[in-house]
Amino acid sequence: PLALLADPSLLKTDALINGEWVAGSSRFDVTDPATGLKLADVARLGATETEAAIAAANAAWPAWRAKTAKERAAILQKWNALLVQHAEDLGRIMTAEQGKPLPEAKGEVVYGASFVEWFAEEAKRVYGETIPTTDGNKRFLVLKQPIGVCAAITPWNFPIAMITRKVAPALAAGCPVVIKPAEQTPLSALACAELAQRAGMPPGVLNILTGDADSSIAIGKVLCESDVVRHLSFTGSTEVGRILMKQCAPTIKKLGLELGGNAPFIVFDDADIDSAVEGAMVSKYRNAGQTCVCANRLYVQDAVYDQFVEKLAAKAGAIKVGNGFEAGVTQGPLIDEQALAKVESHVADAVSKGATVVVGGSRLAGPLGERFYTPTVLANVTSEMLCAREETFGPVAPVFRFKTEAEVIEMANATEFGLASYFFSRDIGRIFRVGEALEYGMVGINTGLISVAEVPFGGVKQSGLGREGSHHGIDDYIELKYLCLGDI
């Protein structure tokens, strides 16, 4: 699938340190999840190269921070333009290594670029403060300065957007970055890095360290333990988030963590049911259910339960599953065998405890079957089932029945996670009550799509720390410095 790139030089397989492409002493395979075939072998780096990248970033820092915000913004704007211009090729690379349908992949490229555009603009709005004095002989000022070398460890489900969302605010603020993309999707990251180079990013300001699962652990350890790295931003599982937080404790590193979710999706009986079904479709089945904001538990009120399940099953059953490059396909493969095994275990557990499979419930039949799971709707689901507690991360919609508003709020909040939540209602009083009562960082009301660059994305409880995107998203990469001027 990569033979058809309009610009083949976007296909990079070496890592990027200090503006140089680095082959590393060994390589690892990147495969196409739709076919299992090898796409490329990519540089497998370790601790030594990580130290080199951190040193290069640190050396590049003084000149990068000394540029005016407008100069940094100009480079970011150019990068944004190149990302959009090459959306077709970047989309192809992404579909090849990640599996999502090509139109969805191109959509992610544009969404990912929007963070670069947004933070290029925000770079110019990092205002300090003067504070009214309480002592006539003194003046109080606050400067905002870049925090220093920043590290980013990113997942495979959004191979570009999860990088730009972290890296663009860091670069805008005046910080150099070291990025460790997911082992499944390094090619998208490297193609973005190539475009950053073309946009005029100075050597050492943006570095990419690639590695397989084992070397990712080694690279991560060095990034966490480094005294020079002042901020680590991570998107991935809560389990790995805990490990990284622990590893960062000795150096009191600032952390941005976007971890797991267990999103409730509530349909009240006063909702527009067709719109709720549409919302559930995008929230649940986008990226084959592999996003941390995907609806994980669907709660539908008694009076509209049967109607909702029937309509959702009809739509889910119509999803075209297949290779993401094939025209008309709206759901690709799952990322790997482990992901499929988890989905199968959630479905088997639910069925063994009394749930019914309304549609789907198995791997796809036929030659493509191995890595594909059919869009599934489960009815008569109860809170005793695994899918009520754990993130399924696959195309399975378990539908729970509820009676009262109070009851569903309690069920929705009964989780250690708190990332995204959704509900559908047309009652304005209820919209406020439920919107305020849900213990989540984000609430989609009458919509299943909530993420854009202009809003704060993030979770409460064990879903993470900090917010990405919006004018708040740059704060993590900035330190406040208080200047007290005496003897006036």
How many residues bind to ligand ADP according to rule CB under 6 A? 13
Q: Going residue by residue from 214 to 233, which x/- string records binding to ligand ADP, judged by CB under 6 A?
A: --xx--x-------------
Residues in the chain, overall count: 488
Residues 97, 258, 391, 405: which is the catalytic one? 258
Shortest Å, Cβ 229 to ligand ADP: 13
Distance in Å, CB of 240 to ligand ADP, minimum = 3
Whether 258 sits among the annotated catalytic residues: the reply is yes
The interface with ligand ADP within residues 231-260 (CB under 6 A) comprises 236-237, 240, 243
Residue 155 engages ligand ADP in binding (rule: CB under 6 A):
yes
Distances (CA, A) of 100 to 94, 192, 355: 8, 18, 29
Site for ligand ADP in 162-181 (CB under 6 A): 180
| 307 touching ligand ADP, by CB under 6 A | no
161 binds ligand ADP (CB under 6 A): no
Closest of 52, 34, 4 to residue 329, by C-alpha: 34
The only residue of 49, 122, 183, 194 in contact with ligand ADP, by rule CB under 6 A: 183
Rounded CA-CA distance 453/465 in Å is 18
Closest by Cα among 162, 137, 48, 42 to 97? 42
Q: Which of 17, 150, 153, 478 binds ligand ADP (CB under 6 A)?
A: 153
User: Which residues, 6 or more positions from 1, have their beta carbon under 8 angstroms from its beta carbon?
Assistant: 32, 39, 92, 95, 96, 325
Cα–Cα distances in angstroms (integers) from residue 420 to residues 85, 152, 175, 407, 460, in the given order? 31, 22, 29, 19, 9
Cβ atoms of 444 and 421 closer than 8 Å: yes
Give whichever of 55 and 243 is closer to ligand ADP, judged by the CB atom: 243
Determine contact, residues 231/256, Cβ cutoff 8 Å: yes
Helical H segments across 272-366, by residue range: 273-285, 302-317, 337-352
Q: What's the closest the beta carbon of residue 30 comes to ligand ADP, in angstroms?
A: 13
Can you name the residues that pair with 237 across neighbouring β-strands? none
Residue (174 or 211) nearer to ligand ADP, CB: 211
Residue 292 Cβ vs ligand ADP, minimum distance, rounded to whole Å: 8
Q: Look up residue 279 and give its amino acid.
A: G
In whole angstroms, the minimum distance from the beta carbon of 274 to ligand ADP comes to 33
- Catalytic machinery residues: 258
Interface ranges with ligand ADP (CB under 6 A): 153-155, 180, 182-183, 216-217, 220, 236-237, 240, 243
